[in-house]
Amino acid sequence: MSNITANIKKFAEESPNKAAIISKSQTLSYKEWSSLLCKTANWLHSLPVANKTAAILLPNGIPFLQLFTGASMAGWKAAPFDLKWTAEELSQRIEISNPTIVITGKEYYDQISRLHPFVLTWEDAMEEISTQSTSFHTDSENNRPFYMGFTSGTTGSPKAFIRSHKSWAASFKVNEHDFKMNEKEHVLIPGALIHSHFLYGAVSTLCTGGTVYLLDKFNAALALFYIEERPISALYTVPTMVSAILKEKRIIEKPVKIISSGAKWDETSKQEISKIFPQLSMIEFYGASELSYVTFLADEDKAGSVGKPCHGVEIEIRGTDGRKLAPYEIGKIFVRSELIFDGYLSNETIHSIQDQDGWATVDDMGYVDDKGYLYISGREKNMILYGAINIFPEEIEKVISLHPDVEEVAVIGLEDQYWGQIAAAIIKGKTDTLELKRLCKKHLASYKVPRKWIFTEEMPYTAGGKIARAQLKDSIERKVISH
């Protein structure tokens, strides 16, 4: 199976009345879902265009999933746009992705129609879609690009990445093999579909025969209500959502599988989650937009590790000379698998990050132990060279974040005449240097304790919502020089 939607028609024939998607206002059976997708694919197929790229600017809901999956079925590329983007950010992404058509809601039409010549409201699109045939021949062997996402990195400049059907089809095998998921799953998707973790969770469930429960937007109390009242077996989440669920102080006795992406959970959080979900299966995975799944950790007490390689994934740790390193030696993490994306889009050309042997890296640094478990030290570009010692900011940030009054923290390297670089901690929150120094000394070697502490009211962010380290470093250095 190359086209990820190839099995949906089979599910519609075998279990026509089985629920495919349940939202607040609507339930769709697999027969209805398959019919909608075929109509959507036929409509897109009928458009007389050579560039088959559709941009989607819609809120969470069935229309978003219908357009994304219907475009995938039709052999088109779908480019989800974020409703929170400013006009300038939208304009940048339109220029990069060059969509043939943009489909949006009535309330956003005026904003986007000034930026693109062919914009349709969802209501007008549905009018055209509704007239199409409920049968569509899926070219299941043609591995076309189907998904265009955007990543902003540390600089804030957006980049488009491209995925083909094969990479998600390989990811489905990870769900089955490592996460022990199958067509009987009832999966709650509490987050925004614009984020690939939640989009993948929803689409992979629908392409493998499970039932998706969709929230309009994240709400901890509502998520818990769904888990308690519906036959939810799995929940896609990120650690911030789990923190909000913890504050509800509820106990969920039923077995639930939590699939978490993003920052690694600390041991205290894990213990708290286990109290709320006594029958919890906890699956954490490490990955990247470019690499997809890399490693996973399922219900294992392996402090600090991000787990073992996922099904079909190979890992190598390499030194600066490209040599493969022994266990416990820190180096650059290289990955080889069928899950890796096609590449970044630039001037309508896709640039792969894989070498001639299929290996790729996103410049994360780490090591493996003698049992094959991976440990992340940090990003190479964030690394601070203190004397002859490598310091990874992520390790220090993790410790400082343990303080309850720290809202956000970023550790950067500042130039120093004697040491080369020193670690500086930029803190958003109401605490003081002495407390944070004590905390660091308790958990870190003395040379890793920041030499400079700076408190701020606001952090700069990239378009993807991450702290813009390069911008932060630049502004701090300018302040240091001016003083």
| 8-374 homologous superfamily | ANL, N-terminal domain (3.40.50.12780)
Question: Rounded CA gap, 335 and 354, in Å?
Answer: 9
pLDDT digits (tens, 9 = 90+) for 41-71: 999 999 999 899 999 999 999 999 999 999 9
Residue 348 and residue 293: Cα distance in Å, rounded?
26
How many other CB atoms are found less than 10 A from the CB of residue 442?
9
pLDDT tens by residue, 258-305: 998 755 666 677 778 888 888 888 888 888 888 999 999 887 778 778
440 phi/psi in degrees, rounded to 5: -65, -45
Note whether 5 and 36 are within 8 A (CB).
no
For 352-416, the three-class secondary structure string (H helix, E strand, C coil) is CCCCCCCCECCCEEEEECCCCCEEEEEEHHHCEEECCEEECHHHHHHHHCCCCCEEEEEEEEEEE
Burial string for 289-319 (b: 16+ CB within 10 Å, else e) reads bbbbbbbbbbeeeeeebbbbbbbbbebbbbe
**Beta carbons of 375 and 394 less than 8 angstroms apart:** no
Question: 383-482, superfamily in CATH?
Answer: ANL, C-terminal domain (3.30.300.30)
Q: pLDDT of 197-227, one tens digit each? A: 899 999 999 999 999 999 999 999 999 999 9
Per-residue confidence at 241, pLDDT binned at 50, 70, 90?
Answer: confident
Domain ranges of the chain: 8-374, 383-482
Determine the longest span between alpha carbons in the chain, in angstroms.
73
pLDDT > 70? residue 157: no
Angle in degrees, 0-180, between the axes of helices 30-46 and 62-74, rounded to the nearest 10: 60
Q: For the chain, what is the radius of gyration of the CA atoms?
A: 23
Condensed to tens digits (0 to 9), the pLDDT of residues 310-338 reads: 999 999 999 989 999 999 999 999 999 99
8-374 and 383-482: identical CATH topology: no
pLDDT tens digits, 159-190: 899 999 999 999 999 999 999 999 999 999 99
